Amino acid sequence: MKIALAQINCHIGNFNANKGLIIKHIEHSRASGTDLIVFPELAVCGYPPMDLLESADFVTNCTDAIREIATHCIGITAVVGSPSKNPSPKGKNLFNSAYVLADGEIKSVFHKTLLPTYDVFDEYRYFEPNTEFKTIELNGKRVAITICEDLWNEEDDPMYTFSPLEKTGEGKIDLVINIAASPFDFNHREKRISILQRNAVKFKSPIVYVNHAGAQNDLVFDGGSMVIDANGEVLFEASYFNDGLFQASITSNIVSAKSTALSKEERIRQALVCGIRDYFRKCGFTDAVLGLSGGVDSALVAVLAAEALGASHVHPVLMPSEFSSEHSVQDALDLCKLNGLTSRTIPINNVYDTFLNELTPAFEGKPFDIAEENVQSRTRGTILMALSNKHRYVLLNTSNKSELAVGYGTLYGDMAGGISVIGDLYKTEVYALCDHLNSTQMRIPKNILTKAPSAELRPGQKDSDSLPDYDLLDRILFHHIEGKSGSSSLIEMGFDAAVVSKVLSLVNRSEYKRFQFAPIIRVSTKAFGTGRRFPLVASYS
């Protein structure tokens, strides 16, 4: 059986674009003699559609698109993901479904059984789980059609009480098709392959797996569609972070075409570039603005944005104050020169002084403290947002995950932005990614990477004045956020009790800041945002 894997980049709610792309790939594949073409989960409407699924018109558009796509399936069979209506008056109104289209019509519909409702997933909010287990015959083969999570109960710690394939596979299954919307994190590829291999070996069946490519909201879908044989060997692995049409044949002598595993830093680089590019393209924007301080965070964001959008579409702004060091200004200018960026300089001294003059009576003679520091940050935020409004730029936020975790940032100041580029990278990961970028070509001046991090909001300020060294801080944060370890567990790991108490207190007290923060491009297993939900007013520590 000649199969096409359509690893496409959908656009949520853009039915004309999604439908046109699907039909184009169907017609191209039919012309090349393909028997079966497989598209990702919810390909018709894009993933995740979220509360758009509560709109009757939205669901009708999905159904109409599927019917039109079916008319193009003459001489070829297609498996296409789309919501479908639940005919029963009981349960949720929709299923998450895979449509089998052939001979110009809908031949069969398969529903998703295991509905993920954890981290960034919230599918049980919308969908009814499948209770009917069946197969379909294609080209003389008995084929099981599954949807993403339906294969993910083969982990060492199963989340669900049964495996859908166990109920489906009474008798021999010749082929398993899995259509997916599997988001990227930097170690997800290996876990994904392992899950698919376990299923292939357990059910003694080859697996065709097709994933989305491209970014939606804060999620990046990395592609990596693949074919695995009944022995668990990866026979074909599509490219990552690229959409496209890939051909494979389910025969005994399939040609192996595996992807090379990328380093953690390279995976993150590609994911962030993809996240920036698609956020702008799908929201209808072309240009970005950001504050360039001469520090490592804004430097990295500027470089990634230039790669994603083109240097001429990235507009860095230098906003020095009386506390800005000469080397910081020069470092920012050097970075622009290395990356072909044209900067603008708007000193904040006069605006800042005006603020302080007006506020002096209200400050009632109290000494300089965080209030005056935050006025500087908010002055810069106001300037950047003014440029954003005037020129229709999107403001790129440059805060990192370490700062967001402990609240080391100013609401409506340096925490402003339309999209957070590195908000899922700890400070140590920021440095590692900068080193990776510089390994092939100098993109970030060496002085930016070697000087002590500082917000430069008061004379001689350093981040280490307020926080533990980032190497220590990030290890505690990783075990607490990704590892879900509390204070007792962290102390048992060998971390100092006083440091743990301080760090966790900062994390808990800063939830209200993160609640108001920009969407963060997700690259880890636990990013701030939709995948991590904590109350704002809790007193538990």
Which of 62, 148, 336, 434 is catalytic? The answer is 148
Measured distance CA(168)–CA(175) in Å, rounded:
12
Quick one: residue 429, left, alpha or beta (phi over 0 = left, psi -120 to 50 = alpha)? alpha
In 176-199, which positions are buried (b, 16+ CB within 10 angstroms) versus exposed (e)? bbbbbbbbbbbebbeebbebbbbb
Phi, psi of 337 (to 5 degrees): -65, -40
Through-space distance between the first and last CA atoms of the chain, rounded to whole angstroms:
57
Active-site pick, 41, 123, 403, 429: 41
The alpha carbon of residue 238 and the mean position of all alpha carbons in its chain are separated, in whole angstroms, by 19
Burial of residue 343, with CB atoms counted within 10 A of its CB: 0-12 exposed, 13-18 middle, 19 or more buried: middle
Q: Contact 77/138 with Cβ under 8 angstroms?
A: yes
From the list 203, 227, 113, 126, the residue with the least C-alpha distance to 159 is 113
Nearest CA among 175, 59, 160, 174 for reference residue 112: 160
Which residues contact residue 501 at a Cβ distance below 8 angstroms, ignoring those fewer than 6 apart?
487
**Distance of alpha carbon 190 from its chain centroid, rounded?**
17
- Is residue 112 annotated as part of the catalytic site, yes or no? yes
User: Are 476 and 500 within 8 A, CB to CB?
Assistant: yes
Separation CA 216–CA 533 (nearest Å): 20
Active site residue 73: no
Q: How far is the CA of 366 from the CAs of 77, 349, 361, in angstroms?
A: 75, 21, 10
Q: Which amino acid type is present at position 362?
A: A
Encoding tokens for residue 20? 């046109």
Strands 105-111 and 226-228 turn out to be unpaired
Cα dihedral across residues 534, 539, 540, 541: positive or negative:
positive
| Catalytic residue list contains 434 | no
**DSSP H/E element including 316:** strand 314-318
**Active-site residue (options: 112, 282, 401, 513):** 112
Q: Which residues contact 117 (CB under 8 A, 6 or more apart)?
A: 123, 124, 125
The tokens for 277 are: 């590019």
Residue 208: its H or E element: strand 207-210
Which residues carry out catalysis? 41, 112, 148
